[in-house]
Amino acid sequence: MTRTPSPGARLFFIAAIGATLIGTVNVFLPDNGITMTFGAWLVTVSSALLVLAAWVLGFTGAGRGIKITFAVLTVLGLLGTVLAAVMLMSWLHVAAVAVAAIGFLTMGLGASSHQREVTA
């Protein structure tokens, strides 16, 4: 049996990838004011960790304990990443993480996991 990810999980995953790409551009784009700074690297790495969290929470059949742990860490990661992006004045990054947060919040609003399972 395969697990079909919810639309919220897909949105979370895609937005986290977008945030990582935006962070990477901010790190390497010359003359943007935050090129190669610790803050730009921090936001990029934390966005990449959000991609990992989105994959574990939305696309794997991980156990309940792991999902709870990743959910708590994801909330902390989203808040910290938004705060760091605001301090860097990287508004596009703030928007991408906000969309990821919307996807994360809507992941739990769909059908329960046993209703989303389909047979291949």
Q: Is the pLDDT of residue 110 over 60?
A: no
First to last CA, the chain: 6
Residue identified by tokens 């708590």 is 72
Instruction: Encode pLDDT of 38-78 as tens digits.
Output: 999 999 999 999 999 999 999 998 899 999 999 999 999 99
**Three-class SS of 23-75:** HHHHHHCCCCCCCCCHHHHHHHHHHHHHHHHHHHHHHCCCCHHHHHHHHHHHH
Residue 112 binned pLDDT confidence (cut-offs 50, 70, 90): low
Domain positions in the chain are 2-108
Asked whether the beta carbons of 12 and 103 are under 8 A apart, the reply is yes
